[in-house]
Amino acid sequence: MLRKFDKNWQIPLHDSGEVERMTRQLNVPVALAQLLCARKLTPEEGRRFLSSSFSEVEPPTALFGCEKAAELILQGIDNNESFVIYGDYDVDGMSATVVLYRIITALGGKVNYYIPSRHDDGYGLHNHTVENLAQQGYNWLVTVDCGIRSLEEVALANRLGLKTIVTDHHPPLESGELPPALAVVHPAIPLNGKCTPELSGSAVAFKLAWQLCCAKMKSANVGDRLRNILLELLGIATLGIVADVVPLIGDNRILTANGLKYLRNRAPIGIMALLQGLSLHEQPLSAENISYKIAPTLNAAGRVGDPNKAVELLLSIQPPKAQSLVSLMLEWNSKRKNLEQEISRQAEELVKEQYLSEDDNPFLVLAGQGWHEGVLGIVASRMVERFHRPTIILSIPNSDDSEKPCSGSARSVEGFDVAAALAHCSDILTRHGGHKMAAGLSVREQDIDAFRQKINEYAKEHKAELSTDEPEYVDAEVPLSALTMETLLAMEAMEPFGKENPKPTFMATNVGLASAPRLLNSYGGVQFDFYQNGVTVKGVAFQHPSWASEFVNTGSQSFDIVFQPSINRFAGRTSVQLRLLDWQSRE
């Protein structure tokens, strides 16, 4: 019985001359040269890409508004004025808050921070919060990871005597109008014809911290003390860059690569306690560790607990206090997982009841009574993975107040702009905003059906963007013999991997099995021994327990496999291992 690939894999055509030139000029293995060519890099660009030298980062003076903001903050410090950093309840916002809090403190400033509650405040600046902060007597309000669309709230701050600086990375208003702050720092606004729109909120905060140090010292050489503080802040900013799933290219990638180096060698006390709590302290820290372990644990504080505690952890200088906070983070993360699993189960039931058996609506809009608002985005992502459709998850309030709107989170599939879809339905919604792939919204319960109908009409009009048969590309076809330890060590220079710099993915054809596949555990792990032309390499697949029997049941002796190679480090030993993504049998 033949089995075909689950996905429409395509192999790009490589110019053999370009690959040979890359191999020769950079003195790298052919497989690595193919990867660099697949990313459309020239040899010189490839050299810079592999070096990840901090000298390649755009200076903070190239960031719109950064010089002016630094000048104003230093004036405020000199005048003994007080600052409040207004952050956000996700890892990007929390780490950005810590970066500016730490640098203003280090420069002798009086500073506090405010993290809004996901449940009581919601995202961004709000008039009632601005009023409360003004009443507390602060002189300066500095936003991180929010504020670029808060024209009304910043105007209120001005009237109340709060001098305001906005730092953000979210899209400005379509009109281009900026909030009336004394300074606006934003990476997507061109300065001298250049911009770096992919920066995260924490990366923007780090560049402002960098500029503060340069302005304070009146030199690019900031001295050992401030340099060491900036290195620590780079490590903290790295958490936000990776967690916010911004493209890991350009400045983001270089900042992350250097931030990871710092965290591996000199992680601050709070982060080290978290690494120990997650059993990550005895292995090289990677962007993948942040994405799948660290970020969800910290984000759980904002979802089901208190995000201020996560900020306290990142600022911790006392190990016992840090360990206590880590225990709290782990407890909240466990609660988050349980909520996520239960709401995901209920949401899947709704899909089966409302969609699969009744219509072909391409956009899932699912609503449940009392669903915890802190996990709506995660559940929406799970539904996108499960059903391959853009999804909105709405929580109907447990309240007799019929005027209180339902809060929701939207997640999309590649190629479909969910923010544009929500904008199309703005006459029905009470609030909406976000990016192409993720957004937030609120809608009155009595309007859910009309909203579901209108957004599906929009999705049907843009059905070409929803195609699930789009080709997916491997980087190259390689023989197993090319996957030596030397080659994989060289490939590690391409890290950190993430959005727009994905893990290398290869195809090998006409591969055999040296022995029958083996189930590793009850979680669906399967181990393989692949061989080709006298070379045997171990492989592993996750969450596909049926593959153990399917390989055998095809009756085939030869297979084509799609995989990501890695170095398996265990008990002091290293070996090449393939993570199997897809496969097909050959006749």
Question: Kindly report the CA angle at 141 between 139 and 144, in degrees rounded to 5?
Answer: 155
- E runs forming strands in 5-114: 9-10, 82-86, 110-114
The answer on 569 and 511 residing in a single domain is yes
Rounded to an integer, the average pLDDT of 285-292 is: 94
Residue 403 pLDDT class (50, 70, 90 cuts): confident
pLDDT digits (tens, 9 = 90+) for 416-438: 999 999 999 999 999 888 788 88
Range of the domain at 393: 359-466
Q: What angle do CA 138, 139, 141 make, to 5 degrees?
A: 80
Assess if residue 354 is contained within a domain: no
**Tens-digit pLDDT profile for residues 476-525:** 999 999 999 999 999 999 999 998 999 999 999 999 999 999 998 756 78
Q: Give every CB contact of residue 243 below 8 A, 6+ residues apart in sequence.
A: 90, 91, 92, 95, 290, 291, 294, 295, 298, 299
Which of 243, 263, 287 lies at the terminal end of a domain, its last residue? 243
Same domain, yes or no, for 221 and 115?
Answer: yes
Which among 243, 277, 298 is the end of a domain? 243
Identify which of 236, 242, 170 has the alpha carbon closest to the alpha carbon of residue 206.
236
Give the CATH number for residue 22: 2.40.50.460
pLDDT at position 467 over 70? no
Give me the chain's average pLDDT, please.
93
This prediction's pTM: 0.90
As a whole number, mean pLDDT of residues 292-299 equals 96
Residue with tokens 């909240």: 332
User: Within this chain, do residues 239 and 93 fall inside the same structural domain, yes or no?
Assistant: yes
* Beta strands per DSSP E along 322-389: 364-369
Q: Are 462 and 530 found together in one domain?
A: no
Q: What are phi and psi of 548, to 5 degrees?
A: -60, -40
- CATH code assigned at 209: 3.90.1640.30
Q: Please give the share of the chain, as a percent, with pLDDT higher than 70.
A: 97
What is the domain count for the chain?
3
* Burial class of residue 66 in the structure, from the number of CB atoms within 10 Å of its CB (0-12 exposed, 13-18 middle, 19+ buried): buried
In DSSP terms, 83 is beta-bridged to: 111, 140
